[in-house]
Amino acid sequence: MRWRAPLVTALAAAVLSAGACSGADGDAGGAPHGLVPLPAEVVYRGAGFTIPADLVITAPPEAAGAAGQLAAAVREATGRAPRTGEGGAVRLELTGGGSPGPGPGGAAGPEAVLEGPEAEAYELTVDSGGVRIRAARPVGLFRGVQTLGQLLPATGPARASGTTGVTLPGVRIADRPRFAWRGAMLDVARHFFTVEEVKRYIDLVSAYKINVLHLHLSDDQGWRLAIAGRPELTEAGGATEVGGGPGGFYTEQDYREIVAHARERFVEVVPEIDMPGHVNAALTADPELSCDGRRREPYTGTDVGFSALCVGTPAVDRFVADVVGELARMTPGPYLHIGGDEVSELAPERYDRFVERAQELVGAAGKRAVGWQEIGGSRLAPGTVTQYWQTGRTPEEALSAVRQGGRLVMSPASRTYLDMKYDSGTRLGLRWAGLIEIEDAYDWDPAAMIPGVGDGQVLGVEAPLWTETAETMDDLEYLAFPRLPAVAEVAWTPQRARDFDGFAARLAGHGPRWAALGVDFHRSGAVAWPG
């Protein structure tokens, strides 16, 4: 997939301008201009703004990144690059009220991503005089720019040969996300994906205001992140993958490159090292970590639940401390994911002991822990996040997490698992959690899923993409699109403003854009894809 590398920058701009817009008067209430996710409040009204050839964008220095993305999107749509400077017809304004920290290039921002919905709020107005985006934080300006990008026509002059006079619709938008955490998980352990592929995935999903990339970095089949002082983990543990392919791993520099790329798009990387189960790859590297002291053979199948760390031994304690310490050192974001799922090889007391010790280490490193729903049955530290996944089982662990004051990230398998088949004919994917068509991915309320778990207990929503059956970038894209945008809208848009028909109508215009970008997507029958 190396040929895709040069595409990445152009892609970021092009995806930003995904969506359909007639450029004519707004069609109040109808299928408005392909905005996905739908903003909290949007009113089309009055005359629009025709982009002049000499457009100027005015932005404070803290919003240089957002201004740059916008300039690229305008250039893509009109064929002309706008200038940045004073007195522009397009203005990005910081209204203050935040306490911005240092971010990429000295700008303020990424730290705000997971602070809460208000941190990402913005207002966007388009009238005949121009465009104004206002927000308290740079991240809000960035979200506003992402929305504006979707108001640009779906096909620019480069493709539509010489079209001029792009007109944005007159509109007033007041927007903020419903949930703070809007995640996409990528399993790079079952099949390995290169830095360029991960960056492309970030570009594609961040256009839908996803703000968390949860990287599943280890499992039975592979260990994908270099840990200083333990080179055998990646040398032995990174050498294969499902099906026996060559696998691979990220060096510290690779990982930092991914994190930086994500942060430029206001996406926070949450790294996961899955413990104390799902550790066969670590046991191929270091036999001391298993209770019988036996070195394991590499595993290239797709079973789960057969491996475990020998929790409680000094060797395992050192290992967990080293891994958590290194993850914390390399990760600027506030969360580290410790896994915790599907451990059948360990007595409950030892499982609890692991969860408590891991949280201690994460806390000591200045981070907060995230774990799969099973950790909810153990004692949780304040601030630990529990990721609900297994629909069809009593939600005891999730309820226990909530009773302890914890919040949930909702990843119900029957709705959000992007590795499930769409229908029985889908060439890829599993089906243990059911077939998931786009309507299934869309039509649910995260705060109405578990009795006793309402909005206040839900930190957010995440769509995992497990890769037992996904080997290539095309496979990832086919499974994620269009279900990822559906889950992104579940996470962003107020429940009362959502309905599937409206979503399907708005989504249709994204198809041609994906096609133009070479994104392999599933043409769900419920959407009237143009062309």
Angle, CA 49 vertex, CA 46 and CA 55 arms, to 5°: 160
Question: What is the smallest separation between the CB atom of 165 and ligand TNX, expressed in angstroms?
Answer: 48
Distance in Å, CB of 186 to ligand TNX, minimum: 12
* 482-514: burial string, b at 16+ Cβ within 10 Å, e else: bbbbbbbbbbbbeeebbeeebbbbbbbbbbbbb
What's the closest the beta carbon of residue 409 comes to ligand TNX, in angstroms? 12
User: Footprint of ligand TNX on residues 310-349 (CB under 6 A)?
Assistant: 341-342
Minimum Å gap between C-beta 264 and ligand TNX is 29
Q: Compare residues 381 and 430 and give the one whose CB is closer to ligand TNX.
A: 430
The DSSP code for 469 is S
Residue 321 Cβ vs ligand TNX, minimum distance, rounded to whole Å? 24
196, 264, 419, 489: residue in contact with ligand TNX (rule CB under 6 A): 419
Structure tokens at 139: 């991240």
Cβ–Cβ under 8 Å, residues 213 and 270: yes
Nearer to ligand TNX among residue 417 and residue 422 (C-beta) = 417
What crossing angle do the helices spanning 483-492 and 473-480 adopt, rounded to 10°?
Answer: 50
Task: Determine which residue in the list 64, 239, 430, 435 makes contact with ligand TNX, applying CB under 6 A.
Answer: 430
Residue 135 is encoded by which pair of tokens? 């927000």
The residue from 232, 235, 252, 342 that is catalytic is 342
- Report if residue 304 touches ligand TNX, rule: CB under 6 A: yes
Q: Which is nearer to ligand TNX, 206 or 378 (CB)?
A: 378
SS (H, E, C) 310-368: CCCCHHHHHHHHHHHHHHHHHCCCCEEEEECCCCCCCCHHHHHHHHHHHHHHHHHCCCE
Minimum CB–partner distance for residue 196 and ligand TNX (Å): 23
In sign, the C-alpha dihedral spanning 397, 402, 407, 408 is positive
By the 10 Å C-beta count (0-12 exposed, 13-18 middle, 19+ buried), 312 is classed as middle
Distance CA 304, CA 343 (A): 9
Shortest Å distance, C-beta 274 to ligand TNX: 8
Q: Is 219 or 264 the residue whose CB approaches ligand TNX more closely? A: 219
Would you say 489 and 39 are in contact if contact means Cβ atoms under 8 Å apart? no
Q: Angle 525-418-303 (CA atoms, 0-180°, nearest 5)?
A: 130
* Residue 521 makes contact with ligand TNX by CB under 6 A: no
- If you write DSSP's letter for every residue of 37-98 in order, what string do you get? SPPSEEEE-S--EEPPTT-EEE--GGGHHHHHHHHHHHHHHHSSPPEE-TT-SEEEEE---S
Nearer residue to ligand TNX within complex by CB, 17 or 386: 386
Tokens of 57: 């964008």
388 binds ligand TNX (CB under 6 A): no
Pick 44 or 299: Cβ nearer ligand TNX: 299
Q: How many residues bind ligand TNX (CB under 6 A)?
A: 10
Min separation Cβ 102 and ligand TNX, Å:
34
Contact 296, 306 (CB under 8 A): no
**Which C-beta is closer to ligand TNX: that of 196 or that of 341?**
341
- Per CB under 6 A, which of residues 20..39 are in contact with ligand TNX? none
- Interface with ligand TNX, residue 417, by CB under 6 A: yes
Does residue 62 have an active-site annotation? no
Nearer to ligand TNX, 181 or 417 (CB): 417
Cβ-count burial of 74 within 10 angstroms (0-12 exposed, 13-18 middle, 19+ buried)?
Answer: buried
CA-CA distance, 398 to 447, in Å (whole number)?
A: 13
**Per-residue contact string for residues 435-474; x = within reach of ligand TNX by CB under 6 A:** -------------------------------x-x------
The only residue of 389, 422, 444, 529 in contact with ligand TNX, by rule CB under 6 A? 389
Site of interaction with ligand TNX (CB under 6 A)? 304, 341-342, 372, 389, 417, 419, 430, 466, 468
User: Which residues are annotated as catalytic?
Assistant: 342
